Structure 1
């Protein structure tokens, strides 16, 4: 991924995935407070698994639960290890090949609303069956101290749990995710659009309206 420039050359990634001989210390190290995930489509979460485990992931509880289910059923590589990841080490004969140590680490998750205890337990249950896991934390936005506020908005999309967000700090940023103005949550999409009118910066991923 690094050699082919599939991901930016930044010092924000998991140490166990960095190829031998790659001088990541020379890359810019961003002060990433959180990753804000809009929904559970691969083109949105596909490379989160590369990120340092200390960077928390913000998403709706439905999105987090769906990601966990997808990850349990099949793996699409280290980039899709969003909820938890398997620690890797280089093989002795060929350091370019990484193998699992059998130990997993849970990521720090921030749900847009408070999760029930049984949902919290669900995130680490299957990983424990495969080996040992160092559980991550699960908190809600209202219980998390960030240097800016994040307001989630339920929106319509072709998958459950999709959110748009408005961030307020030095600037106000509206992020649409993939949004459409029809379907079951059409009304909620329109509420977000009205709220986003006052934003100084608008980030649009994809939209659909009829």
Structure 2
């Protein structure tokens, strides 16, 4: 058995992990977009050329150089190089959850490769594609055949919109717990026997996976935490590992840094803390507009603000994109959108596309639409779910102060910091008071975090649960601080283990067992 990590071991996101059996079959764990690496070459107005297929991604080493993995038509301009690359035999791709840094490049993969994901993750991926820009690079669940168009001298790729293929999504039999015992059903694909477990993360439908191949037991966490509403699910996964044993644990370490050892005893905020802090803000802004800014597709946070709206006598106003996703999730038993206290904001920004028509023509929602102008006439009646990208809509109303609750992650990159400065300009223009976001005398924004909790496990929780699972080999992933992670584990874990962190000259981590 061999594990090769092409991406995601020394960076946050972009996971592309290949587990290869002795017979040469590969089980792929996530196939995400590495935003940090991508931003070294591209930005909003400088993007990969759709007419070149995967040429630009291949040439810039943004995707693994492998044969037998990608959609044939997209390789038109690099076919000679691909034919010389290492050939693999992928039996499946496991998508741990619906964040682009974990699924963002599955659009490049052969459409016949099975995609293992929970139903909720599948629907989040569908919502991304349906509401996105409709390019080759966002064909996550429906794939177009490739056609060609001729320029004066050059042939370019384009989508054959009349010929589409649905990807092979497979819903796993998710493990569950009853009577203090974790029950599970094994499934098999080629040389791999696997089980999928729901876990807690900042997006619904997140899962971890455990599998056996060539007599080796491997577990992959994806992104996890232990302080959300679904914390018990992550606990059950590690309880299973403790009961059944694990040889290799691939475990995230997003929040690990050089100060982790000194901050192990820091208290951890929970979603209920966010709720109570936000209620105080709403109550102190009676009669005024309240905006809640939280991560796209963070349904758990949306539910928190829905509860806040009910308890403070307001209605929760969501965007059309929110409504589209919530409508899809109804079939998964997540029925929030039918709540009477939810309204849907129509916007000049939404184009008249198939996904908007699906919401507009749904009789269940015909009496639920409001405009931002209507909200402006009685702002005390609403909590508005807006973010930086929605700020232009507020130009349609007169705002007499109010609150902007920043309930999302802080800026990590230079470009994100630029967006934060722009957001603060909008907030100031509308005479809103920001909460969770401040500007000091040096004009540098700071994130005060009373209104947001991380989607990732704390260093203390990671240590505790690695100790519970007791893997023989630990491979840290999804972290920018591999050495700090290594030092933390070596100083605090009380059993014998090995940490695998070394990469080859091309930056690929390879582990044989």
Q: TM-score, normalised by structure 2?
A: 0.34
Q: What does 1:69-88 align with in structure 2 at a 5 Å threshold? A: 69-75=127-133, 77-88=135-146
**DSSP 3-state at the match of 1:22:** helix
SS at match of 2:116: strand
SS of residue paired to 1:54: coil
Q: What residue in structure 2 maps to residue 126 of structure 1?
A: none
Note the C-alpha offset of 1:78: 2.8
Alpha-carbon separation, structure 2, partners of 1:104 and 1:92: 22
How far apart are residue 194 of structure 1 and its match?
Answer: 2.5
User: What are the Cα deviations for residues 158-187 of structure 1, in whole angstroms up to 9, with x where unaligned?
Assistant: 010000110112111100010001111111
Distance in 2 (alpha carbons) for counterparts of 1:45 and 1:21: 23
1:160 paired residue number: 204
**Contact between 1:45 and 1:80, CA under 8 Å: does it hold in 2?**
no
C-alpha offsets along residues 22-57 of structure 1, whole Å, 9 cap, x if unaligned?
Answer: 312111111111000100000000111111112110
Q: Is the 8 A contact 2:186 2:194 kept in 1?
A: no
What is the CA-CA distance between 1:89 and the residue it aligns to?
2.5
Contact kept, 8 Å, 1:179 with 1:208, in 2: the verdict is: yes
The Cα of 1:72 is off from its aligned counterpart by 0.9
Counterpart position of 2:64: 8
Unaligned runs of 5+ in 1: 115-140
In the other structure, the counterpart of 1:109 is 169
> Is the alpha carbon distance of 1:66 and 1:13 closer, same or farther for their aligned partners in structure 2, counting shifts above 3 Å?
same
1:30 maps to: 88
Q: C-alpha displacement at 1:142, in angstroms?
A: 6.8
Q: State which structure, 1 or 2, has the greater radius of gyration over its C-alpha atoms.
A: 2
Q: Which runs of 5+ in 2 are unaligned?
A: 1-56, 175-184, 255-455, 462-513
Cα distance in 2, alignment partners of residues 32 and 162 from structure 1: 22
1:200 counterpart = 2:223: no
1:48-91 Cα distance to aligned partner (Å, 9 max, x none): 11111121100001111121122111137434322111222232
Q: Alpha carbon RMSD of aligned pairs, Å?
A: 2.1
Indicate how the Cα distance of structure 1 residues 46 and 76 shifts in structure 2: closer, same or farther if over 3 A, else same: farther
CA apart distance, 1:99: 0.8
Report the structure, 1 or 2, having the larger helix content: 2
User: Aligned partners of 1:32 and 1:77: how far apart in 2?
Assistant: 25
CA contact (8 A) 2:224 2:234 kept: yes
Q: State how far apart, in whole Å, the 1-side matches of 2:457 and 2:138 are.
A: 26
The ranges of structure 1 where at least 4 consecutive aligned residues each deviate by more than 4 angstroms after the TM superposition are: 141-145
C-alpha contact (below 8 Å) 1:58/1:110 kept by paired residues: yes
